[in-house]
Amino acid sequence: MESVLDNHEELKQVVENVAEVAGYLWQKGWAERNGGNITVNITEQVDESVRQLPAISPVYSIGTTLPHLKGCYFYCKGTNMRMRDLARWPMDNGSVIRILDDCATYVIIADKPVKPTSELPSHLAVHNYLLAKGSPYRASLHTHPIELVALTHSKKFLEEDVATKVLWSMIPETKAFCPRGLGMVPYMLPSSVELADATIKAIDDDYDVVMWEKHGVFAVDTNIMSAFDQVDVLNKAALIYIAAKNMGFEPEGMSDAQMKELSDVFGLPK
């Protein structure tokens, strides 16, 4: 069966990267059952032949109007689909959608009528915000990293930038590769408009990775591998912190002076 990926090498590479990341999420235990979602803006990889593809689904409502997404295309993980399956068969467990001109509806155009995640409105709202501000970010990732989620069961880590400072101090690479830190959003109903709005507000406060209390993380970056890398680095820092606590002591962490030196030398934003 012909796929939209055939003869579209750039698009194929984007989807293969999504499949690779999906496999990592499963291997790490961050994607139980159908947990987690990936949505990538692939408009820049879409040529005229793809634009001419007919819809293979009914017209679906997004549930809101997103004016900056007019005519955009996205690859989305399917609803109730498992990351471990997406890793092997990305076009059976995800699909390509086209946002229609009313900016409030979409259709599936390839390869199969796999309806996107129920969290699609939240993801698309973030993408709309990113395009509106001229951001180069095209990928969004939601996943459930065990140690980062564990931190949110302690109220002290929910305070602004408390977790950021602790995680940065565990190992220099955390600050170097996640220089904007970790935003915090208090618990809200999954898939809700309120959660989407709070996530956008946190990103607007200059975070690339946002922690949803007792739920998971939402990360954005230029591509899906970079979004995964940020979460992976932050969770490694959480693992180091928890390992030290399990050894019976409070980890000392890098000092403020050491972290400032790191920021100054490498020109980090925070």
Domain ranges, ordered by start, for the chain: 1-143, 145-270
Overall pTM > 0.85: yes
CB distance 41 to 73 below 8 Å: yes
1-143 against 145-270: fold identical: yes
165 falls in which pLDDT band (50, 70, 90)? Answer: very high
Which among 169, 137, 168, 184 has a CA at the least distance from the CA of 251?
A: 169
The answer regarding whether domain 145-270 maps to CATH 3.40.50.2300 reads no
163 falls in which pLDDT band (50, 70, 90)? Answer: very high
Q: Residue 203 pLDDT > 90, yes or no?
A: yes
Please return the burial class of 43, using the count of CB atoms within 10 Å of its CB with bins 0-12, 13-18 and 19+. middle
Report the share of the chain in percent with pLDDT over 90.
94
Annotated catalytic residue, options 2, 44, 119, 147? 119
Q: What are phi and psi of 105, to 5 degrees?
A: -140, 165
Please return the burial class of 231, using the count of CB atoms within 10 Å of its CB with bins 0-12, 13-18 and 19+. buried
Encode pLDDT of 90-147 as tens digits. 999 999 999 999 999 999 999 999 999 989 999 999 999 999 999 999 999 999 999 9
Q: Residue 270 pLDDT > 80, yes or no?
A: no
d(CA 125, CA 120): 8
What fold, for 1-143?
A: L-fuculose-1-phosphate Aldolase (3.40.225)
Q: Residue 1 pLDDT > 80, yes or no?
A: no
Active site residue 173: no
Three-state SS for 171? coil
Count of residues making up the chain? 270
193 falls in which pLDDT band (50, 70, 90)? Answer: confident
Q: Residue 191 pLDDT > 90, yes or no?
A: no
DSSP state of 78: B
How much is the pLDDT for 73? Answer: 98
